[in-house]
């Protein structure tokens, strides 16, 4: 027997006591999936929980997003930024107008080049109010995974209609992306560690600064 | 307040350790329940819950205890013991041991008897529906909620409800109350160093309360903590919850 | 091996788990280390409080635990079905699936894959499965350097140490010790720590960032585990905090994930349960900073060669015990370690394996088989206080499984010499009330003889394990049974 066959054979022997072949009949699951979590105001809660991770959050009317993208980047003393190919062109225009160097990822930048760039600006797929999580499904307006990882500052724009109450609703919204083979990155604040005496330090390998614009 | 009306007939499950080492505790249960109108009986066939054997891995040695328990108590509607741990073992482990024995009749009977077995605090609060049992105990005490009373028997806050109604009693909160004292049955002799390290922290917390008495619902844990306090000449007296509840102002005079 | 002995590429761990003495001996040594006691006490009490706060925020926490339990139970009871589905989904999405019966086979597969890429180093995401199979040492023997990139794992690796906690492997080290390790070791393996680095966690994390950045930018092969593997879609999930995981999962050209066969979940929808249970139970956060999910190969994004090694290594043995199998529900959150009063006092090394604490005491002996002195002692390394079972996010009845394993140990030949005799005597005494009644004549006689005192002090063996530190109360002069019979003569029962 090869390893695969042997492991399957061991499993079947080990489960000799299981007589019901249908998993759903054998072990019923009472849980109701994709239920929203009740909360007073989803957007308020989102802002509160994201801020809890020491990320900067600003609430902005949709029309003002391009200007705020540029001012936030300048405020963070960013001099170069990489933009995913599908980003809103008005953001790009505002960033260029602010005198910040824009690098395109086409052809793809190698990791050494990415390491020299200060910041990345992306859209998002879903925001989760209860946990302060921003989820990327790496569509064209978010770019491939390395873009939002190597530069030290990540500015992400989340639309109000993308924010859901809690994780169950979020997973529900992301089903199609996963089925299509897209990777997901769930981001809850800047990178952090509590590995030394459980003392939380924001900023290790991932972006040390997370700037969030909530576009309403 | 307690009523004089005829209450239920209750079988006392004294537990082996109380029988041999701490008879004042089951005596107090008798006093208390009779005062509250119950008829208390002590079926002589009873011995032990078998936990000592079960938790050391010797299931076969524990099975006779399950048989004894069923035989001694199956004719009673209420079986009451002054130990969250022993009561917890009856409810949680007896059915498993009966299954292990392969005796289907015992498996069925042990489950039925287990359902009628109560810790004294549960019996008072849930069955007799009384929290003020007319007790008087003018002392500063601290209460250690023993692990098996909280996590196996799940007596919840019933002991606190009962203590809060005792006249004259000054209940001081015990720091880190929910931490295990380190007794753990044979753990106390199989892993004596860890057991004592845990007990030493419990004893330190007990001392920090300045209480005169340390109260629990399990005399085995109390024996372990007191063993440490006594070695240190700490002067804090051990007492079982039932013994506090049994004392009255009239009795104190 | 025909190769010449060569200098090691990575720091040598100080000791091996093989041949560890039984728990009691290890525990005694650890109890005598005041710095360790202090570090552990501080860490466990801090993390307990954080967990309690975050769990209290979730109104349906108990329902959520039940869901976690049910999903895992369903998966384990039909593991063959879900593994076949996982394999099919992974393959469809461009991943290559490998199967390993044991640690040696898993290591051989990984070494072969790394050698085929012609590289001599890999970057690693913290992974319990690769620790369990001791992959780093196997790679080292093959001349391949495996760089741990999680901060705590880095501290352990550079410290020539072993992990002592599932989630915070360097929980036994304080900041001063970490600083010393970084200053001494980093320069031997890459970018040195700044000479003037202080012992502030932020500066030490900064030193780790600089030290590892060159390795991330250079690595051609990344090695990970997975927290979850979704059968329906073929997606793997890694939950982390620092971004080192994202680096390893994203930047290298080749990714090898070593995954225990019990990590499978049926559907993507099930993630909503586990991504809520895990972070609140483990780090006490609403959500961990980063969770990565990938499905085989994503064209133009991340590794273009993706391998998944599915490992048994004793899991099917655990599965074959209908009671013990619940241990395979474990999602490695560490809540049981953090709450455990025994773990708090002795730390993870005393458990002698990569799985310490209550879960280690039930998982280790089952994975390895109850054969060594250590594995026979682990089920007894608990006061059965039950706190572990209460916090477990997938409701593993840890105390019940400990007792179940004690029963298995008691059936082996090598229990303490006099234990079966003592048990038989006590068993006789308590098997019938007449025997107990008979013995009470002696206990009360002892009570009367010792009536001048309430307690006994230090006594010789066999009482010494109790009386070395604890006084022993003297038995009652009249047993309750005797009292009852004397006071209830008139035909009462």
**Count of residues in chain C:** 493
Q: Examine residue A30 and say whether the peptide bond preceding it is cis (omega within 30 degrees of 0).
A: no
Q: Examine residue C174 and say whether the peptide bond preceding it is cis (omega within 30 degrees of 0).
A: no
Q: Is residue C189 located within the same domain as residue C300?
A: yes
Please give the Cα distance from C84 to B13 (Å, whole number). Answer: 54
pLDDT reported for residue B2: 44
Q: Looking at mean pLDDT, say which of C29-33, C297-301, C447-451, C463-467 comes out highest.
A: C297-301
pLDDT digits (tens, 9 = 90+) for A139-196: 999 999 999 999 999 999 999 999 999 999 999 999 999 999 999 999 999 999 999 9
pLDDT reported for residue C127: 96
Tell me the average pLDDT across C346-350. Answer: 94
CATH number of the domain residue C248 falls in:
3.40.50.10420
Tell me the average pLDDT across C257-267. Answer: 98
- What letter does residue A189 receive in the DSSP assignment? S
Instruction: State the pairing for strand pair C472-473/C455-456.
Output: antiparallel
pLDDT reported for residue B59: 97
How many Å is the maximal CA-CA distance in chain B? 55
Q: Give the count of beta carbons closer than 10 Å to the beta carbon of residue B69.
A: 28
Q: HSE, CB side, 13 Å, CA atoms: give it for residue A183.
A: 27
Residue that is written with structure tokens 């801020």 in the block: A51
Tell me the average pLDDT across A33-58. Answer: 97
pLDDT exceeds 60 at position C493: no
Which of these, C147, C141, C84, C83, lies nearest to C107 by C-alpha position?
C141
What angle in degrees, to the nearest 10, is found between the helix axes of A89-97 and A65-75? 40
pLDDT digits (tens, 9 = 90+) for C196-205: 999 999 999 9
What count of CB pairs under 8 Å joins A to C?
261
Q: φ, ψ for residue C310 (rounded to 5)? A: -95, 120
User: Which residue of B22, B42, B57 is in closest CB contact with C409?
Assistant: B57
What angle in degrees, to the nearest 10, is found between the helix axes of B24-35 and C480-487? 40
Q: For residue C26, is it within any domain?
A: no
Topology of the domain covering B140-252: Rossmann fold (3.40.50)
Residue that is written with structure tokens 């007596």 in the block: B155
As beta bridge partners, residue C295 has C235
User: Which residue of C98, C174, C212 is in closest CB contact with A205?
Assistant: C212
Q: For residue C51, is it within any domain?
A: no
Q: Is residue C296 located within the same domain as residue C349?
A: no
Would the CB atoms of C217 and A111 count as touching at under 8 Å? yes
Partner C contacted by A196 (CB < 8 A): yes
- What letter does residue C261 receive in the DSSP assignment? G
Contacting partners of chain B (3+ CB pairs under 8 A): C
Please give the Cα distance from C417 to C396 (Å, whole number). Answer: 32
Lowest-pLDDT range, A8-17, A174-183, B3-12?
B3-12
Alpha-carbon dihedral C71, C72, C78, C81, rounded to 10 degrees? 80
pLDDT band at C413 (very low <50, low <70, confident <90, very high): confident
User: Do the Cβ atoms of C201 and A199 come closer than 8 Å?
Assistant: yes
Tell me the average pLDDT across A17-24. Answer: 97
pLDDT band at B252 (very low <50, low <70, confident <90, very high): confident
As beta bridge partners, residue A185 has A136, C292
Q: Is residue C193 located within the same domain as residue C106?
A: yes
Distance, C-alpha C348 to centroid of its chain: 8
pLDDT band at A136 (very low <50, low <70, confident <90, very high): very high
Tell me the average pLDDT across B37-41. Answer: 97
pLDDT reported for residue C461: 84
pLDDT reported for residue B199: 97
pLDDT exceeds 50 at position C209: yes
In chain C, residues with a C-beta closer than 8 Å to the C-beta of A31 are 63-64, 66-67, 70-71, 273
pLDDT reported for residue C20: 73
pLDDT band at C16 (very low <50, low <70, confident <90, very high): low
Radius of gyration (C-alpha) of chain C in whole angstroms: 26
Q: For residue C298, is it within any domain?
A: yes
Residues of chain B with CATH 3.40.50: 140-252
Please give the Cα distance from C389 to C330 (Å, whole number). Answer: 12
pLDDT band at C432 (very low <50, low <70, confident <90, very high): very high
Q: Is C365 exposed, middle or buried (0-12, 13-18, 19+ CB in 10 A)?
A: buried
Residue C456 lies in domain: 420-487
Please give the Cα distance from C27 to C164 (Å, whole number). Answer: 13
Please give the Cα distance from B243 to C238 (Å, whole number). Answer: 55
Q: Is residue C136 located within the same domain as residue C83?
A: yes
- What letter does residue B135 receive in the DSSP assignment? -
Residue of chain A nearest C246, judged by CA positions:
A149
Q: Is B67 exposed, middle or buried (0-12, 13-18, 19+ CB in 10 A)?
A: buried
Chain B nearest C-alpha distance from C449 (Å): 15
Helices assigned H by DSSP within C128-261: 128-132, 135-141, 151-158, 175-189, 201-218, 244-250
Buried b (16+ CB within 10 A) or exposed e, B158-197: bbeebbebbeebebeebeeeebbbbbbbbbbebbbbbbbb
Chain C nearest C-alpha distance from A211 (Å): 14
| Chains A and B: 3 or more CB pairs within 8 Å of each other | no
Would the CB atoms of C269 and A172 count as touching at under 8 Å? yes
User: Which residue of B93, B179, B188 is in closest CB contact with C466?
Assistant: B188
Q: Is residue C128 located within the same domain as residue C269?
A: yes
Q: Is residue C253 located within the same domain as residue C174?
A: yes
pLDDT exceeds 70 at position A105: yes
Instruction: State the pairing for strand pair C121-124/C221-224.
Output: parallel
Partner C contacted by B104 (CB < 8 A): no
Q: Is residue C349 located within the same domain as residue C242?
A: no
In chain A, residues with a C-beta closer than 8 Å to the C-beta of C324 are none
pLDDT reported for residue C325: 98
Q: For residue C373, is it within any domain?
A: yes
Please list, in sequence order, all residues whose beta carbon lies within 8 angstroms of the beta carbon of residue C172, skipping any fewer than 6 positions away.
C36, C39, C40, C164, C165, C347, C348, C349
Its sign, for the CA torsion C418, C421, C427, C428, is negative
- Structure token pair of residue B71: 């035989």
Instruction: State the pairing for strand pair A133-136/A126-128.
Output: antiparallel
- Structure token pair of residue C337: 């370690």
Q: Is residue C166 located within the same domain as residue C219?
A: yes
pLDDT digits (tens, 9 = 90+) for C382-391: 999 999 999 9
Tell me the average pLDDT across C321-329. Answer: 98
Q: What number of H helices and E strands is found in chain C?
A: 23, 12
Helices assigned H by DSSP within C23-120: 23-31, 34-56, 61-77, 79-92, 103-116
Tell me the average pLDDT across A57-73. Answer: 97
This prediction has a pTM of: 0.96
Query: What residues 154-183 of chain B have any CB closer than 8 A to a CB of chain C?
Result: 178-180, 182-183
Q: Is residue C401 located within the same domain as residue C453?
A: no
- What letter does residue A151 receive in the DSSP assignment? S
Topology of the domain covering A39-215: Rossmann fold (3.40.50)
Query: What's the total number of domains in chain C?
Result: 3
In chain A, residues with a C-beta closer than 8 Å to the C-beta of C298 are 138, 144, 181-183
pLDDT reported for residue C78: 98
- Domain range annotation of chain A: 39-215
Which of these, A195, B43, B67, lies nearest to C152 by C-alpha position?
A195
Q: Is residue C404 located within the same domain as residue C476?
A: no
Query: In whole numbers, what is the pLDDT of chain A averaged over residues?
Result: 96
pLDDT digits (tens, 9 = 90+) for B174-210: 999 999 999 999 999 999 999 999 999 999 999 999 9
Please list, in sequence order, all residues whose beta carbon lies within 8 angstroms of the beta carbon of residue C487, skipping any fewer than 6 positions away.
none
H or E element that contains B71: helix B59-73
Which of these, A182, A185, A118, lies nearest to A150 by C-alpha position?
A118
Name the more confident of A99 and B6.
A99
As beta bridge partners, residue C298 has C301
H or E element that contains B231: helix B219-231
- Structure token pair of residue B235: 């002067």
In chain B, residues with a C-beta closer than 8 Å to the C-beta of C432 are 47, 64, 68
Q: Is residue C275 located within the same domain as residue C241?
A: yes
Q: Is residue C115 located within the same domain as residue C161?
A: yes
pLDDT exceeds 50 at position C481: yes
pLDDT exceeds 90 at position A214: yes
pLDDT digits (tens, 9 = 90+) for C43-100: 999 999 999 999 999 999 999 999 999 999 999 999 999 999 999 999 999 999 999 9
Would the CB atoms of C431 and B189 count as touching at under 8 Å? no
Chain C nearest C-alpha distance from B99 (Å): 13
């Amino acid at each position: 027997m090869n390893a695969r066959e042997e492991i399957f054979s061991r499993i079947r022997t080990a489960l000799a006591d299981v007589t019901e072949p249908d998993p759903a009949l054998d072990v019923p699951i009472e849980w109701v999936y994709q239920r929203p979590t009740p909360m007073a105001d989803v957007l308020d809660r989102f802002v509160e929980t994201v801020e809890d991770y020491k990320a900067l959050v600003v609430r902005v009317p949709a029309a003002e997003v391009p200007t705020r993208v540029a001012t936030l980047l300048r405020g963070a003393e960013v001099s170069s930024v990489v933009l995913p190919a599908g980003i809103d062109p008005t953001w790009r225009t505002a960033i260029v107008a602010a005198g910040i160097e824009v690098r395109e990822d086409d052809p793809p930048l190698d990791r050494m080049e990415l390491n020299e760039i200060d910041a990345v600006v992306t859209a998002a797929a879903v925001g989760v109010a209860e946990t302060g999580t921003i989820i990327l499904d790496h569509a064209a307006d978010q770019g491939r995974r390395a873009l939002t990882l190597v530069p030290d500052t990540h500015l992400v724009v989340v639309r109000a209609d993308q924010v859901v109450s809690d994780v169950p609703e979020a997973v529900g919204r992301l089903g199609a992306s996963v089925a299509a083979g897209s990777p997901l990155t769930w981001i809850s604040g800047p990178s952090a560690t509590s590995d030394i005496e459980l003392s939380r330090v924001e900023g290790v390998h991932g972006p040390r600064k997370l700037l969030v614009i909530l576009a309403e | 307040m307690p009523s004089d009306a005829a209450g239920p007939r209750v079988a006392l499950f004294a537990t082996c350790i109380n029988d041999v080492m701490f008879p004042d505790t089951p005596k107090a249960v008798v006093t208390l329940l009779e005062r509250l109108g119950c008829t208390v009986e002590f079926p002589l066939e009873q011995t032990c819950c078998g936990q000592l054997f079960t938790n050391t891995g010797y299931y076969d040695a524990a099975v006779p205890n399950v048989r004894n328990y069923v035989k001694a108590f199956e004719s009673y509607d209420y079986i009451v013991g002054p130990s969250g741990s022993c009561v917890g073992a009856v409810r949680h482990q007896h059915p498993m041991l009966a299954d292990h024995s392969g005796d289907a009749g015992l498996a069925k009977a042990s489950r039925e008897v287990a359902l009628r077995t109560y810790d004294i605090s549960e019996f008072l609060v849930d069955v007799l529906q009384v929290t003020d049992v007319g007790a008087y105990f003018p002392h500063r005490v601290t209460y250690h909620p023993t692990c098996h009373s909280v996590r196996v028997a799940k007596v919840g806050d019933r002991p606190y409800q009962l203590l809060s109604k005792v006249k004259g009693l000054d209940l001081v909160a015990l720091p880190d109350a929910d931490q295990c004292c380190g007794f753990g049955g044979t753990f106390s002799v199989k892993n004596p160093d860890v057991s004592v390290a845990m007990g030493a922290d419990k004893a330190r917390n007990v001392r920090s309360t300045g209480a005169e008495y340390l109260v629990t619902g399990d005399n085995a844990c109390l024996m372990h903590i007191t063993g440490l306090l006594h070695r240190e000449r700490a002067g804090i007296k051990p007492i079982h919850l039932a013994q506090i509840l049994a004392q009255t102002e009239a009795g104190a005079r | 091996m025909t190769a010449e002995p060569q200098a090691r590429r990575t720091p040598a761990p100080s000791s091996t788990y093989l041949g560890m003495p039984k728990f009691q001996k290890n525990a005694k040594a650890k109890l005598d280390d005041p710095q360790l006691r202090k570090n552990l006490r501080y860490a466990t009490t801090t993390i307990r409080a954080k967990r309690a706060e975050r769990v209290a925020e979730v109104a349906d926490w108990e329902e959520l635990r039940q869901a976690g339990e049910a999903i895992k139970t369903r998966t384990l009871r039909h593991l063959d079905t879900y593994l076949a589905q996982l394999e099919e989904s992974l393959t469809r999405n461009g991943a290559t699936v490998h199967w390993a019966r044991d640690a040696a086979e898993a290591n051989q597969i990984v070494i072969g894959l790394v050698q085929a890429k012609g590289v001599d180093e890999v970057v690693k995401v913290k992974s319990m499965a690769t620790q369990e199979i001791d992959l780093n040492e196997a790679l080292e023997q093959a001349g391949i350097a495996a760089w741990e990139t999680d901060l705590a794992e880095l501290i352990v690796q550079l410290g020539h140490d072993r992990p002592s906690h599932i989630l915070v492997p360097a929980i036994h080290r304080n900041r001063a010790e970490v600083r010393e390790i970084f200053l001494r070791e980093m320069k031997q393996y890459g970018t040195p720590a700044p000479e003037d680095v202080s012992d502030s966690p932020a500066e030490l994390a900064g030193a780790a960032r600089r030290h590892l950045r060159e390795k991330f930018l250079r690595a051609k092969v990344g090695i990970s585990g997975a927290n979850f593997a979704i059968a329906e879609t073929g997606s793997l999930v890694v939950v982390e905090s620092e971004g080192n995981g994202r680096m390893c999962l994203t930047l290298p050209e080749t990714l090898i994930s070593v995954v225990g066969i019990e990590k499978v979940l049926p559907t993507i929808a099930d993630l909503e349960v586990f991504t809520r249970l895990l972070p609140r139970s483990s780090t006490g956060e609403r959500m961990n900073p980063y969770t990565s999910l990938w499905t085989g190969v994503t064209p133009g994004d991340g590794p273009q060669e993706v391998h998944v090694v599915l490992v048994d290594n004793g899991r099917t043995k655990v599965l074959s015990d209908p009671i013990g199998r619940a241990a395979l529900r474990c999602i490695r959150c560490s809540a049981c370690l953090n709450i455990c009063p025994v773990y708090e006092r002795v730390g993870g090394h005393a458990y002698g394996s990569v799985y310490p604490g209550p879960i280690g005491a039930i998982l280790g002996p089952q994975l390895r088989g109850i054969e060594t002195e250590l594995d026979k002692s682990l089920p007894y390394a608990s006061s059965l206080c039950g706190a572990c079972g209460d916090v477990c996010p997938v409701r593993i009845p840890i105390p019940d499984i400990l007792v179940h394993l004690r029963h298995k140990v008691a059936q082996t030949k090598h229990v303490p010499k006099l234990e079966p005799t003592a048990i038989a005597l006590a068993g006789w005494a308590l098997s019938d009330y007449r025997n107990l009644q008979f013995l009470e004549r002696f206990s009360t006689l002892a009570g009367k003889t010792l009536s001048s005192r309430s307690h006994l002090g230090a006594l010789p063996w066999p009482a010494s394990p109790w009386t070395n530190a604890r006084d022993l109360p003297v038995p009652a002069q009249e047993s309750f049974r005797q009292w009852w019979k004397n006071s209830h003569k008139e035909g009462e029962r």
